Amino acid sequence: MPTTTDTEPGRSDSAAGGARRGRPGYDQETVLNIAVQVFNKHGYDATSMGTLAENLGISKSAIYHHVPSKGDLLRLALDHALAPLEAVGDDERARTGSAGERLEFFLRGTIRVLIERQSYVTLLLRLRGNTEVERSALERRRAMDRRLAELVVAAQEEGSLRGDIDPRTTTRLLFGTINSLVEWYRPDGPVTAESLEENAIGMMLDGLHTRDK
Amino acid sequence: MPTTTDTEPGRSDSAAGGARRGRPGYDQETVLNIAVQVFNKHGYDATSMGTLAENLGISKSAIYHHVPSKGDLLRLALDHALAPLEAVGDDERARTGSAGERLEFFLRGTIRVLIERQSYVTLLLRLRGNTEVERSALERRRAMDRRLAELVVAAQEEGSLRGDIDPRTTTRLLFGTINSLVEWYRPDGPVTAESLEENAIGMMLDGLHTRDK
């Protein structure tokens, strides 16, 4: 029941309405959305349940109504980034066709998830691995690194990618370029998601040089 | 007098020797090197002079012997990244020749500084802008963004860069790709600095696709 999705952090229907028996006016998705913003701003380690409660404008016990612990909140939030990213690699189009086509599908799909789930991916990319939840997420990231590395090698072997670039470095460069998007892209800015995707794919696969040079 | 440059953090000649009248065995450069590592590990805001002293294995007053304040330490450290980065843009080769050549020189020079000054650039890239020293550094970063943007536009206008990519997005993509190197590159790993530079430049300017495709 996303009753207050459009409500600003710090305000909830229950607080405004006053008479709702202390039941928070947020659904789990909204709690998650705000929690991720707070984690990204202050860092996960430095964010207490008290800070979260303050930002949500509800009591700590009201948060526990949604999730048992801060770690569960993190796990749910990270899954909002990891599940769609993994779905890209599991998609039929990342598994059939030429390696070059599969690679391009994988890269485009990853860019789209980064744009659609920007704050969740930002959280994922800033993890330090201090807890079991974090280490499990980092292991899922490494599995995606291996998936991309395999696609790069396959595309080099089939001849659609140049062979003079180290595949491991290429994998790092591709994810480095794509991941950097979360740091500066603003969905409400002048660059559309489609244009960003084309520009990034254009640079990575075809380069910035004009082709007749 | 870099007497203890090869000494591990937490150990100093004066501590080992015992009889040196409390004068710290570090020179300013070594203090800076260790401070930057501590800042990068814990975050600048979260690092106290006490934490620094602990990591250096010297007293707080011994640090004050080298620098008047934590902010001065930050300013000096940031200048270790900013000065060589700015020197790239000021170099004759970034100012004469075709725009395409100037752009390539600028990108290659920036990559080299990132590799040579990795921990200092990491510190620069993680700044949040909470203090005047940080804001001043961020302004110098923005000046470099503008410099790169100008080179991109000039190279597009002369026809050496493709015209179908938004110059502002291209600038972001280029710095995003290059800056991401500090996150994973290890000087003692299997990839040499020269190979990394060639691979990154190769992808950004010529793309990963084989040219006959």
Classify each residue of A114-136 as buried b or exposed e, where b means 16 or more C-beta atoms within 10 Å of its C-beta. bbebbbbbbbbbebeeebebbee
3-state secondary structure of B69: coil
Give B86 to chain A, closest Cα distance, Å: 22
Instruction: Please indicate, yes or no, whether residues B41 and B111 belong to a single structural domain of this protein.
Output: no
Task: Inform me whether the pLDDT recorded for A158 exceeds 60.
Answer: yes
Residue A29 burial (C-beta neighbours within 10 Å; 0-12, 13-18, 19+) = middle
Cβ within 8 Å, pair B172-A184: yes
- Suggest the residue from A164, A204, A208, A211 to mutate for an interface test with chain B (most B CBs closer than 10 A): A208
Q: For A211, which DSSP code?
A: T
Question: A189: nearest CA in chain B?
Answer: B169
pLDDT value for B132: 95
pLDDT band at A212 (very low <50, low <70, confident <90, very high): low
Q: Does residue B4 belong to any structural domain of this protein?
A: no
Residue A137 burial (C-beta neighbours within 10 Å; 0-12, 13-18, 19+) = buried
pLDDT value for B130: 87
Instruction: Please indicate, yes or no, whether residues A57 and A91 belong to a single structural domain of this protein.
Output: no
Task: Inform me whether the pLDDT recorded for A23 exceeds 50.
Answer: no
Instruction: Please indicate, yes or no, whether residues A56 and A80 belong to a single structural domain of this protein.
Output: no
Classify each residue of B79-94 as buried b or exposed e, where b means 16 or more C-beta atoms within 10 Å of its C-beta. bbbbebbbebbeeeeb
Give A54 to chain B, closest Cα distance, Å: 21
Cβ within 8 Å, pair A183-B160: no
Q: Does residue A99 belong to any structural domain of this protein?
A: yes
Percent of chain A with pLDDT over 70: 87
A170: nearest CB among B161, B173, B199:
B199
Q: Which residue from B202, B113, B110, B95 is spatially nearest to B151, judged by alpha carbons?
A: B95
Instruction: Please indicate, yes or no, whether residues A95 and A162 belong to a single structural domain of this protein.
Output: yes
Query: Is the Cβ–Cβ distance between B146 and B167 less than 8 Å?
Result: no
- Suggest the residue from B173, B179, B194 to mutate for an interface test with chain A (most A CBs closer than 10 A): B173
Instruction: Please indicate, yes or no, whether residues B50 and B110 belong to a single structural domain of this protein.
Output: no
CA–CA distance from B89 to each of A113, B118, B133, B149, B181 (Å)?
A: 35, 18, 22, 12, 19
Cβ within 8 Å, pair A203-B168: no
Say if A189 is an interface residue toward chain B (CB within 8 Å).
Answer: no
Cβ within 8 Å, pair B207-A210: no
Instruction: Please indicate, yes or no, whether residues B182 and B105 belong to a single structural domain of this protein.
Output: yes
> Distance between terminal CA atoms of chain B?
57
Regarding predicted confidence, which is higher, A129 or A191? A191
Residue A194 burial (C-beta neighbours within 10 Å; 0-12, 13-18, 19+) = exposed
Contacts of A169 in chain B (CB under 8 A): 191, 195-196, 199
A209: nearest CB among B166, B205, B210:
B205
What residue has token string 């696609």? A151
- Suggest the residue from B98, B169, B194, B197 to mutate for an interface test with chain A (most A CBs closer than 10 A): B169
Contacts of B195 in chain A (CB under 8 A): 166, 169
Contacts of A183 in chain B (CB under 8 A): 176
Instruction: Please indicate, yes or no, whether residues A48 and A83 belong to a single structural domain of this protein.
Output: no
Give A79 to chain B, closest Cα distance, Å: 23
Task: Inform me whether the pLDDT recorded for A18 exceeds 90.
Answer: no
- Suggest the residue from B104, B183, B208 to mutate for an interface test with chain A (most A CBs closer than 10 A): B208
pLDDT band at A43 (very low <50, low <70, confident <90, very high): confident
Mean pLDDT within A169-178: 97
Q: Which of B48, B67, B86 is the last residue of a domain?
A: B67
Cβ within 8 Å, pair A210-B172: no
pLDDT value for B213: 44
Query: Is the Cβ–Cβ distance between B127 and B137 less than 8 Å?
Result: yes
ipTM of the modeled complex: 0.84
Q: Does residue A14 belong to any structural domain of this protein?
A: no
Give B23 to chain A, closest Cα distance, Å: 36
Question: B191: nearest CA in chain A?
Answer: A169
Q: Does residue B3 belong to any structural domain of this protein?
A: no
Instruction: Please indicate, yes or no, whether residues A183 and A88 belong to a single structural domain of this protein.
Output: yes
Q: Does residue A118 belong to any structural domain of this protein?
A: yes
Number of domains observed in the structure of chain B: 2
Contacts of B180 in chain A (CB under 8 A): 172-173, 175-177, 179-180
Instruction: Please indicate, yes or no, whether residues B40 and B87 belong to a single structural domain of this protein.
Output: no
- Suggest the residue from A156, A173, A195, A213 to mutate for an interface test with chain B (most B CBs closer than 10 A): A173
Kindly give the confidence (pLDDT) of every residue in chain B, 213 residues in length, as a single tens digit, with 9 standing for 90 and above.
443 333 344 333 333 333 333 344 678 888 899 999 999 998 898 899 999 999 988 888 888 888 889 999 999 999 999 999 999 999 999 999 999 999 999 999 999 999 999 999 999 999 988 899 999 999 999 999 999 999 999 999 999 999 999 999 999 999 999 999 999 999 999 999 999 999 999 999 999 999 864
- Which CATH number fits the domain that encloses residue A32? 1.10.10.60
Q: In whole angstroms, how large is the CA radius of gyration of chain A?
A: 20
pLDDT value for A25: 66
- Which CATH number fits the domain that encloses residue B105? 1.10.357.10
CA–CA distance from A170 to each of A153, A174, B161 (Å)?
A: 10, 6, 22
Say if B203 is an interface residue toward chain A (CB within 8 Å).
Answer: yes
Q: Which of A14, A42, A67 is the last residue of a domain?
A: A67
Instruction: Please indicate, yes or no, whether residues B173 and B129 belong to a single structural domain of this protein.
Output: yes
Q: Does residue B7 belong to any structural domain of this protein?
A: no
Q: Does residue A110 belong to any structural domain of this protein?
A: yes
What residue has token string 């007053």? B61
Cβ within 8 Å, pair A169-B210: no
Instruction: Please indicate, yes or no, whether residues A109 and A58 belong to a single structural domain of this protein.
Output: no
Query: Is the Cβ–Cβ distance between B152 and B102 less than 8 Å?
Result: no
Q: Which of B67, B88, B104 is the last residue of a domain?
A: B67
> Residue B151 belongs to what domain range?
72-206
pLDDT value for B25: 66
Count CB pairs under 8 A between chains A and B.
125
Contacts of B165 in chain A (CB under 8 A): 199, 202-203, 208
Instruction: Please indicate, yes or no, whether residues B48 and B96 belong to a single structural domain of this protein.
Output: no
